[in-house]
């Protein structure tokens, strides 16, 4: 099966991560990377890998980038393995891939994740399973909040082995990304169907505190020490950014901007 798979990645200033991810892809004959204008050492790292083909495309949306990556880069294999730049494949995962039948009546496979904080795995996280191994021609991708959603035509099966999510970018870089991510989340929340979770997110400040307490006590991350606290605080801050945006929209809508009347405007004589 490995000869039938092309790993596909998106990058954008992923120098702290991309080398570790590529080191777990030595089995791949061809790796496609679509870069959105990295200015750190990402491109230099990519150039050191002979099985990597790099394409440049200005970022518009995640769905736009992925659609280009899987349709416009001359991928020759019937399967793609879509990866984030901070995913680490385990030996068990690669072995499971090698045992799959590429001709099986399956359109895609889902995988679960272990979440790591600087290479130390947490006992739990909020990171959901994802569909990452897909047969070409059997899926579509569209935007969904700050990320994207993949719609698969046909049977989808789970894989048993897990992937490690291990982001080594600085907290400064992470904070800079949250404004972009949460503005897209808010746009999606404003137009989509609203369940309990969505209503909670639109009622500041309930969600930031709820997710923080749930991570620490519901997921047991209080037992993970500083790494568990680090993760719980990240979730709190991300939701707090969204809460601030919700409040900003509410306050702006309720406070019409004052404009000076004609008599308040003084005109200087020439």
Is residue 259 included in any domain, yes or no? no
Of the three residues 166, 182, 204, the one that is the final residue of a domain is: 166
**How many CA atoms within 13 Å lie on the side-chain side of 23?**
9
From residue 174, how far is each of 23, 72, 142, 167, 237 by CA, in Å? 23, 29, 24, 10, 11
Are residues 150 and 31 part of one domain?
Answer: yes
Q: Is residue 262, in this structure, part of any structural domain at all?
A: no
- Whether residues 233 and 180 fall in one domain: yes
Q: How far apart are CA 41 and CA 39, in angstroms?
A: 7
Q: Read off the pLDDT band of 254 (50, 70, 90).
A: confident
Confidence of residue 270 (pLDDT cuts 50, 70, 90): very low
Residue 24 within a domain:
yes
Give the count of domains, the chain: 2
Query: Residue 192's closest CA among 142, 229, 231, 248?
Result: 142
pLDDT reading at 255 higher than 90: no
**Has residue 9 got a pLDDT over 80?**
yes
Q: Which tokens in the block code for residue 155?
A: 């049977």
Task: Please tell me whether residues 155 and 183 are part of one structural domain.
Answer: no
Same domain membership, residue 187 and residue 86: no
Range of the domain at 179: 171-254
Q: Select from 140, 242, 121, 114 the least CA-distant residue to 188.
A: 242
165-188: pLDDT as tens digits? 999 999 999 999 898 889 888 888
Residue 262: predicted pLDDT: 57
pLDDT digits (tens, 9 = 90+) for 205-243: 999 999 999 999 999 999 999 999 999 999 999 999 999
152 domain-assigned: yes
Q: Tens of pLDDT along 48-75?
A: 999 999 999 999 989 999 999 999 999 9
Does some domain include residue 184?
A: yes
For 177-207, give one letter per residue: b (16+ CB within 10 A) or e: ebeebbebbbeebeeeeeeeebeebbebeeb
226 in a structural domain: yes
Q: What average pLDDT does range 250-269 have in this prediction? A: 66
Token pair of 161, please? 């082995």
Q: Are residues 120 and 235 in the same domain?
A: no
The reply to whether 49 and 177 lie within a common domain is no
Residue 243 domain-assigned (yes or no) = yes
- Report the CATH number that the domain containing residue 132 is assigned in CATH: 3.90.550.10
Q: Tell whether 6 and 139 lie within a shared domain.
A: yes
Does residue 85 sit in the same domain as residue 152? Answer: yes
Q: Are residues 177 and 159 in the same domain?
A: no
At 101, the pLDDT band (50, 70, 90 cuts) reads: very high
Tokens representing 128?
A: 């959901």
Distance CA 4, CA 97 (A): 10
Judge whether 269 lies within some domain. Answer: no
pLDDT > 70? residue 261:
no
Using the predicted structure, report yes or no on whether residue 131 has a pLDDT greater than 70.
Answer: yes
Do 13 and 126 have their domain in common? yes
115 and 121 Cβ atoms separated by less than 8 Å: yes
**182 and 160 inside one domain:** no
Q: What is the pLDDT of residue 258?
A: 62
Rounded to the nearest integer, the mean pLDDT of the chain is 92
Same domain, yes or no, for 39 and 115? yes
Among 166, 187, 211, where does a domain finish? Answer: 166
């Amino acid at each position: 099966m490995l000869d039938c798979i092309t790993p596909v990645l998106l990058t954008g200033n992923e120098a702290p991560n991309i080398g570790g991810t590529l080191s777990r892809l030595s089995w791949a004959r061809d790796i496609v990377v679509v870069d959105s204008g990295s200015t750190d050492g990402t491109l230099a790292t990519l150039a050191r890998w002979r099985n990597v083909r790099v394409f440049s495309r200005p970022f518009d949306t995640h769905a736009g980038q992925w659609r280009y990556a899987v349709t416009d880069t001359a991928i020759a294999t019937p399967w793609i393995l879509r990866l984030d730049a901070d995913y680490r494949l385990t030996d068990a995962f690669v072995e499971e891939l090698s045992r799959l039948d590429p001709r099986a009546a399956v359109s895609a496979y889902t995988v679960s994740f272990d979440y790591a904080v600087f290479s130390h795995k947490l006992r739990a996280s909020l990171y959901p399973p994802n569909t990452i191994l897909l047969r070409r021609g059997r899926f579509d991708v569209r935007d969904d909040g700050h990320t994207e959603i993949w719609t698969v035509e046909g049977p989808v099966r789970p894989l048993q082995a897990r992937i490690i999510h291990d982001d080594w970018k600085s907290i400064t870089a992470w904070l800079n990304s949250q404004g972009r991510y949460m503005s897209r989340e808010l746009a999606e929340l404003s137009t989509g169907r609203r369940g309990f979770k969505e209503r909670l997110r639109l009622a500041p400040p309930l969600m930031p505190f709820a997710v923080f307490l749930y991570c620490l006590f519901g997921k047991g991350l209080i037992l993970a020490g500083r790494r568990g606290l680090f993760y719980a605080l990240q979730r709190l801050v991300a939701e707090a950014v969204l809460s601030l945006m919700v409040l900003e929209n509410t306050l702006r809508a309720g406070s019409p901007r004052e404009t000076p009347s004609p008599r308040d405007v003084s005109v200087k004589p020439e």
